[in-house]
């Protein structure tokens, strides 16, 4: 007659047939009239005595079963908590990678970061530091992976389960597959708030309802941008001058220094300028050095002057214009300033004398040279302000 074996809670574990053994669990159960039953029974005692000591877990565990994991780097007692998986009970798991199949409240010693962590199953994360006294905030000192999977030192601040601030010494994009990437796609040195862009310095919302740092700096809200077209489009706006860079500065203004929005005119009296020419941006087909002579043509608006005394000459690339026209058209690499009036350095193909009229050189592209009698007056670039024996150099030119 077979044996029916039941668990402590009364459920049937297995049925052992007569004259046979049952190996449905980690122990061997002996049936009635089984020959040689002594050996499997004694081996059962050995397994229980050593708690199934092995480097691999028992293949047929039941809930509540102990197992001693004798892996050299582990050597700890574990218990089967769900009928399939084992959990460390002798100490907190110590490893550089998280334990498999964690449940809420599980502890783990992160040997890579030297931190004790607890598992939060709601957010599927291991949190390095927990709230104290039931507080709804915590700090996590775990590293954050960047877009190249490089781990970066960081301190993450949580309000409840919501990541609200990150402290970092580095600038990087976070790994797109991480939960942090949704609110913190980019991290900047210092303090980074949610949805901030550390490259442009902008946030998702720059008004008082956005993510701000509050304190004495809250007064900075008073200096938000004013749309002149909506508020003061017909009112003269007087420009103020501050007396110093810090401390108790005074503000000064004058009735002759103002901006008129209705006419888009800035009224001022010019007394001096640091630089010596008026220049305008033009789109070029390459990057050109200051002093280079350009002409209209090529794939863009201007290109290198290559023809002697060409009337298509555009002018000389300015070094540091005193007045910059069309300044927002592009950069110095794509839209160099070309001098329209004033004094500028110019590449020259000599010899020339002070007062000589200058035209584009056909011998040395990008250079100016002395005008010949038969050259058109429309080809003149400017007038030499220095003697130059040659062959090639840079002199001051009056445009």
Q: What whole-number distance in Å separates Cα of residue 377 and Cα of residue 358? A: 10
Q: Which uninterrupted H or E stretch holds 159?
A: strand 154-159
CB 89 within 8 A of CB 73: no
Going from the N-terminus, what domains does the chain have, and what CATH number goes with each?
A: 3-50 (no CATH), 137-192 (no CATH), 231-267 (no CATH), 277-398 (2.40.300.10)
Task: Tell me the average pLDDT across 191-197.
Answer: 78
pLDDT digit string, tens, across residues 27-60: 999 999 999 999 999 999 999 999 999 999 999 9
What is residue 3's predicted lDDT score, i.e. its pLDDT? 92
Task: Tell me the average pLDDT across 183-188.
Answer: 88
pLDDT band at 348 (very low <50, low <70, confident <90, very high): very high
Task: Tell me the average pLDDT across 369-396.
Answer: 95
CA separation (Å) from 390 to 91, 318, 383, 395?
86, 22, 16, 11
Task: Tell me the average pLDDT across 12-24.
Answer: 94
pLDDT band at 363 (very low <50, low <70, confident <90, very high): very high
Task: Tell me the average pLDDT across 206-230.
Answer: 51
204 pLDDT above the threshold of 50: no
Q: What whole-number distance in Å separates Cα of residue 135 and Cα of residue 161? A: 12
What is residue 125's predicted lDDT score, i.e. its pLDDT? 82
176 pLDDT above the threshold of 80: yes
The alpha carbon torsion through 375, 379, 385, 389 (nearest 10 deg) reads -50
344 pLDDT above the threshold of 50: yes
Task: Tell me the average pLDDT across 288-313.
Answer: 95
In sequence order, the β-bridge partners of residue 166 are 156, 192
Task: Tell me the average pLDDT across 219-240.
Answer: 57
132 pLDDT above the threshold of 60: no
Nearest Cα neighbor of 397 from 284, 290, 262 is: 290
Q: What whole-number distance in Å separates Cα of residue 104 and Cα of residue 93? A: 15
In sequence order, the β-bridge partners of residue 69 are 54, 76
Q: 133 CB contacts (<8 Å, ≥6 apart)?
A: none
pTM of the complete model: 0.39
Task: Tell me the average pLDDT across 85-104.
Answer: 80
The rounded mean pLDDT for the chain is: 84
Nearest Cα neighbor of 399 from 319, 286, 289 is: 319
In sequence order, the β-bridge partners of residue 338 are 280, 317
What is residue 218's predicted lDDT score, i.e. its pLDDT? 45
Structure tokens at 394: 């840079």
């Amino acid at each position: 007659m077979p044996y029916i074996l039941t668990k402590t809670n009364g459920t049937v574990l297995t049925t052992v047939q007569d004259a046979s053994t049952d190996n449905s669990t980690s122990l061997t159960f002996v049936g009635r009239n089984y020959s040689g039953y002594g050996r499997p029974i004694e081996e059962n005692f050995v397994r229980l005595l050593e708690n199934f000591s092995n480097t691999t877990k028992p293949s047929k565990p039941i809930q509540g079963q102990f197992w001693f994991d004798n892996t050299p780097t582990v050597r700890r007692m574990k218990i089967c908590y769900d009928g399939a998986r084992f959990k460390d009970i002798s100490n907190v798991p110590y490893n550089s990678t998280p334990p498999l199949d964690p449940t809420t409240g599980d502890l783990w010693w992160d040997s890579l970061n030297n931190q004790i962590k607890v598992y939060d199953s709601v957010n599927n994360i291991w949190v390095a530091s927990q709230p104290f006294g039931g507080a709804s905030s915590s700090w996590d000192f775990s590293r954050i992976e960047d877009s190249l999977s490089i781990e970066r030192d960081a301190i993450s601040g949580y309000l409840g389960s919501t990541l609200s601030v990150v402290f970092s010494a580095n600038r990087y994009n976070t790994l797109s597959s991480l939960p942090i990437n949704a609110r913190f796609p980019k991290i900047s040195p210092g303090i980074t708030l949610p949805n901030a862009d550390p490259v442009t310095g902008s946030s998702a919302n720059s008004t008082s309802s956005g993510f701000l740092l509050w304190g004495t700096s809250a007064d900075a809200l008073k200096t938000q941008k004013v749309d002149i077209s909506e508020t003061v489009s017909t009112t003269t706006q007087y420009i103020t001058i501050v007396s110093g860079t810090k401390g108790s500065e005074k503000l000064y203004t004058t009735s002759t220094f103002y901006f008129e929005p209705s006419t888009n005119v800035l009224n001022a009296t010019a007394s001096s300028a640091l630089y010596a020419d008026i220049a305008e941006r033009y789109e070029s087909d390459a990057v050109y050095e200051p002093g280079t002579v350009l002409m209209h043509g090529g794939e863009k608006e201007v290109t290198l002057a290559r023809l002697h005394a060409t009337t298509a000459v555009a002018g000389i690339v300015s070094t540091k214009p005193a007045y910059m026209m069309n300044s927002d058209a592009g950069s110095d690499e794509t839209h160099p300033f070309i001098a329209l009036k004033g004094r500028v350095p110019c590449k020259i193909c000599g010899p020339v004398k002070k007062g000589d009229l200058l035209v584009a050189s056909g011998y040395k592209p990008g250079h100016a040279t002395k005008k010949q009698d038969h050259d058109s007056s429309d080809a003149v670039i400017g007038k030499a302000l220095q003697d130059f024996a040659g062959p090639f150099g840079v002199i001051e030119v009056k445009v």
